Structure 1
Amino acid sequence: MPPHFLTPPMRPHVSIITPTAHREHLLPAIARCVLRQRVEWEWLILDDSAQPSAYLQALASTDARIRYFHSPARMSIGAKRNFLVAESRGCVIAHFDDDDHYAPHYLAHMLATMQESHADLIKLSGFFMYAPHTQFFGYMDLNAKVGLHYELSGRTVSHIEFHEKMQIGADFILFYGFSYVYDKARAAISAFDDVDLYDDESFIRRVVNAGRKVIAVDDPQASCLHLVHPASTSRCFSRHSMPSFLLPTLFPCYEGFVE
């Protein structure tokens, strides 16, 4: 918790939540993404690494908007998300994964789009992606259910042809929780399952089944860069391949992936 001599900030509009573990080397990059956001925010991190993060402890001691929690006991990603949502003070929750890149205008853009559409939850249906180990730079379009795609793992790139009898799932567009931004009160009907994989899938299904308005949008403003590396847990199928020299032009604040 922040030390007592720090003046608590005004009630934030957005509570950014980040579950993490054993990724101390990635934390400075995601911290820079948070600090650059152009909305009123607080950042909550729950870490169940064997040892607390010295970096985040020091950062939280100087910025009352940052609250760092360490659990000595192992917790699932779903349980960590539930804890962070319960601790949040904002009226909007935004997921920031510890291994992705969020441009400075990301949250402002997502909030404006959500408000214009009177939506309860917004996520990306199209997003840029980069695999540092293969230097593959692409764009994933979840609306493209058939056609040639690039299948990415952390260290390989291969081709796959989706067709009428083997399409990308119609509900696949709802997954990928790294880009979830949602009204805390309206989404309170759902919690995350106490699991490490597919916790975002079960969460979003309950939100949709409850009749909440969920929208999935493209990313023409290059606001988010999904990073695919050997420790990534979700499969990625990029619809488009782009020259890697465009990466610094579209994402000038991205400073590279730290092993």
Structure 2
Amino acid sequence: MSGRRWIKQMFIGAFLIPAMVCGTAFFINFIAIYYHASRAIPFGTMVAVCCICFFVILPLNLVGTILGRNLSGQPNFPCRVNAVPRPIPEKKWFMEPAVIVCLGGILPFGSIFIEMYFIFTSFWAYKIYYVYGFMMLVLVILCIVTVCVTIVCTYFLLNAEDYRWQWTSFLSAASTAIYVYMYSFYYYFFKTKMYGLFQTSFYFGYMAVFSTALGIMCGAIGYMGTSAFVRKIYTNVKID
């Protein structure tokens, strides 16, 4: 990666998730302070968390980025890559990346739909959750389904002569988080008795953090599986 793009990506990687989590937590904390709630975090703790982001997370990302740039070497593509992007032909509407992204998260969400109810109940109804073995099994199923779905989506995309598979594979798997967050609305209105600004912001704020983390995890799993698939199929391509 030439130029200064790696610096931009380093800062995004260092501060994207911490900024989202800290911003959500601080916003909810200010509401808790206003309502004099016992869940309010002391101001000193908030400052300590910010210091961790600047003096621990950022230096570690800097070291990791520099080591990665120096040790990774040149990209090892399985076949010759054309420097000039070719025009993408017209295709049917359901083969567009935006449609694939929206539909890609349905099956992964369906594989964890039942388990989400019990996890939400343990979070918000304060019931003890003890079937961790089953949760691990559901996690394995989620990973397998996510990889399979993203590979199928990427195959159809490449078959339509559309080479924009990287972000499509990531976002199609990460769209699982959208359905999880939509399900949290149903759970809030029909399964809980929460009300008021503090409880509502507390619920939806932390559910947004949970859904985003789940989406990033699914997106990373889907991208890694799809990358291995694309590398495998293009390794067998013979170019005269």
Q: TM-score, normalized by length of structure 2?
A: 0.22
Q: TM-score, normalized by length of structure 1?
A: 0.21
* Greater helix content: 2
* Greater strand content: 1
